[in-house]
Amino acid sequence: MRSTKRTVKTVLALVIASVLVLLAFGCNTYVPQEGTLPENYIPQPDGKIKLNYYIASNESLKKAINDYVRTFQQKYPDVTVKTELSTKSKEQVAAEIAAKTVGDVLFLFESDVYNYAETQHALMNLDYYVEAYGIDLSNVFSAMIDMGTVSGKLYMATCNYNHIIYYYNKDLVKAANLIDPAELQAMGQWDWETFKEYCKALTVTDDSADRKTVGAALRLGYSAEYIPFLEGFGGQWFDTVEKKVSFVSDERVLKGVTEMCDFVRSNTCKYYAVTQSDQAAKPVRKSPSQETFSDYNDQNQVCFRAGEHDNMVTIGKAYEQAGIDWDVVAVPALPTHKVGTGCSGFAVFNGTKNPAAAAALALTILTEEGQLAYHGQEGGAIPNMKSLAYNNDYWRVPFADRKDDPENGKNYDAFISFPEADTYAFVECVIPPEVASIVKKYMQNVVPDDVNGDRSVENTLTLMEAEANQKWAAIYTG
């Protein structure tokens, strides 16, 4: 009798174990831990998931997400997606993530990923499902993978490709008898030293001149524009292994920041004060030898100014309403070519009860059908995939393309030029937010402080490096 009972118990245990194994390898609630596919496991997305999408009151963006979900459900008909479109602030989103009341899939910006993945552990590693769903990452711009990666693991699938370019007044370039910058870009001759010479030739401050102009207008207190200088002379300003930043201790980083100050001091650049922290941004003061160009019009008195693809329509129409010929060109190459690059994307909440379906929804954006659905056939954003960016012209709107109209067309190639030079647009992409806030606080005023003679660049960076590293050490040891 005891033997029979023991046999029954043994059989029952084996049955239960078998069921558990089947569940682990066959059901959609399997959550991968190390990014390695278990043998014979094939996810089959089904069930219900929710997508939290945070947008402004923009009908085209609403259409983009609705078209994207529709395309996804055609591919995965067994998955039902509920979309929650809202205009919640980043603070409200952070509170929902902390309270674990968010949906399965989240819309995030590149500046959010490090904090939510590394600090709060609120995002699910997607590497496992990249392999499971056969996503071809080799067709995605490498920076777009980097922007969603923390500590070697992919946490966000990026929606679009967006790096800094320069808009410029072609009429001013022609009047100065200079070669079109877009032509220099095409020849690989558009570098920082050439750009400085152009700005010098394009700056006219003589009161007797018919037109007063300045070479450039830059936001050098904005991280997307100053980070390339931190890395542009071969420097490494952060170290996630040693948990430190290096601004004065790395002479190459110091050289980059000094270069920004010297450029503004050369009196050929309009400096834009940009607040990136709770400390007010300072302007560059006017002196007998230094103009501020604060009253110079950005359309007809400034030649070069930084921007992104997102504001091409607004800026282009402003030029054309003013009767100005204009174009776009790549950011001039520093000795180590770097360009501030950003994006948005989809991430999966680490507390999802349906990881297979959630990962499928997020990763569909890294496929051609997902990109075409999200961005539509009317443009909207630069695709994150090389095959679409280089071989498909649907995003080259609304202005004529230089390839089709050399005289009046625009240099859309600037938006996808030198992808190997892309670097992070925001300091919080690679360091803890508490440390990033210290860096931004000092960097937003390092140029005006130095140019105005209030505090040297070395003193500012020494203070910042010490405070930032003390904070990072406290986070790491705490």
Whether 154 and 296 map to the same domain: the answer is: no
Could you read off the pLDDT of 266-317 as tens digits, one per residue? 999 999 999 888 788 999 999 988 899 999 999 999 999 999 998 999 999 9
pLDDT(470) > 70: yes
Q: Give pLDDT, residue 64.
A: 87
Angle of CA points 424, 313, 202, to nearest 5° = 75
Whether 129 and 255 map to the same domain: the answer is: no
Whether the Cβ atoms of residue 158 and residue 107 lie closer than 8 Å to each other: no
pLDDT(63) > 90: no
Where are the alpha helices (H) located in 118-157, listed in sequence order? 127-132, 142-146
Residue located via tokens 């937010």? 433
Buried b / exposed e across 172-204, counting CB within 10 Å, b at 16+?
bbeeeebeebbebbbeeebebebbbebbebbbb
- What is the pLDDT confidence band of residue 375, given thresholds at 50, 70 and 90? confident
Least confident stretch, 16-25, 220-229, 403-412: 16-25
Whether 284 and 427 map to the same domain: the answer is: yes
Phi, psi for residue 304 in degrees, rounded to 5? -105, 140
- In percent, the amount of the chain with pLDDT more than 70 equals 90
Q: Evaluate whether residue 173 is within a structural domain.
A: yes
Mean pLDDT of 396-402: 92
Whether 77 and 191 map to the same domain: the answer is: no
Whether 55 and 138 map to the same domain: the answer is: yes
Between 465 and 205, the higher pLDDT residue: 465
Q: Evaluate whether residue 129 is within a structural domain.
A: yes
Closest CA to 333 of 131, 187, 121: 187
Least confident stretch, 32-36, 244-248, 428-432: 32-36
pLDDT(238) > 60: yes
**Domain end call among 356, 391, 426:** 391
Q: Give pLDDT, residue 6.
A: 47
Q: Give pLDDT, residue 380.
A: 66
- In percent, the amount of the chain with pLDDT more than 90 equals 76
What is the C-alpha to C-alpha distance for residues 386 and 384, in angstroms, rounded to an integer?
Answer: 7
Buried b / exposed e across 333-357, counting CB within 10 Å, b at 16+?
bbeebbbbbbbbbbbbbbebebbbb
Per DSSP, what are the bridge partners of residue 86? 54
Angle of CA points 189, 263, 441, to nearest 5° = 120
Q: Evaluate whether residue 433 is within a structural domain.
A: yes
Phi-psi region of 191 (alpha: psi -120 to 50; beta: other; left: phi over 0): beta
Q: Give pLDDT, residue 18.
A: 41
Q: Give pLDDT, residue 155.
A: 98
Whether 315 and 461 map to the same domain: the answer is: yes
Domain ranges, residue 113: 47-161+343-391
Please state, as a whole number, how many other Cβ atoms lie within 10 Å of the Cβ of residue 211. 9
Write the CATH number for 67.
Answer: 3.40.190.10
At a CB cut-off of 8 Å and minimum separation 6, what does 151 contact? 117, 118, 240
Mean pLDDT of 106-134: 94
Q: Evaluate whether residue 175 is within a structural domain.
A: yes
- Parallel, antiparallel, or unpaired for β 214-218 and 302-307? parallel
Whether 299 and 353 map to the same domain: the answer is: no
Q: Evaluate whether residue 8 is within a structural domain.
A: no
- What is the pLDDT confidence band of residue 7, given thresholds at 50, 70 and 90? very low
> Average pLDDT over the chain, rounded to whole?
90
Question: What's the 3-state SS for 383-413?
Answer: CCEHHHHHHCCCCCCCCCECCCCCCCCECHH
Q: Evaluate whether residue 355 is within a structural domain.
A: yes
pLDDT(9) > 80: no
Mean pLDDT of 246-266: 98
Between 193 and 207, the higher pLDDT residue: 193
Whether 222 and 237 map to the same domain: the answer is: yes
**Domain end call among 391, 425, 455:** 391
Q: Per mean pLDDT, which of 31-35, 179-183, 377-381 is the most reliable?
A: 179-183
pLDDT(33) > 80: no
pLDDT(24) > 50: no
Q: Evaluate whether residue 33 is within a structural domain.
A: no
Cα Rg of the chain (Å, integer): 26
pLDDT(27) > 60: no
What is the C-alpha to C-alpha distance for residues 201 and 173, in angstroms, rounded to an integer?
Answer: 9
pLDDT(32) > 50: yes
What is the C-alpha to C-alpha distance for residues 332 and 307, in angstroms, rounded to an integer?
Answer: 13
Q: Evaluate whether residue 38 is within a structural domain.
A: no
Whether 309 and 273 map to the same domain: the answer is: yes
Q: Give pLDDT, residue 310.
A: 87
pLDDT(5) > 70: no
pLDDT(28) > 70: no
pLDDT(23) > 90: no
pLDDT(8) > 60: no
Whether 186 and 315 map to the same domain: the answer is: yes
pLDDT(26) > 60: no
Number of domains composing the chain: 2
Whether 130 and 212 map to the same domain: the answer is: no
What is the C-alpha to C-alpha distance for residues 219 and 204, in angstroms, rounded to an integer?
Answer: 21
Whether the Cβ atoms of residue 254 and residue 307 lie closer than 8 Å to each other: no
Could you read off the pLDDT of 128-163 as tens digits, one per residue? 999 899 999 999 999 999 999 999 999 999 999 999
Whether 192 and 284 map to the same domain: the answer is: yes
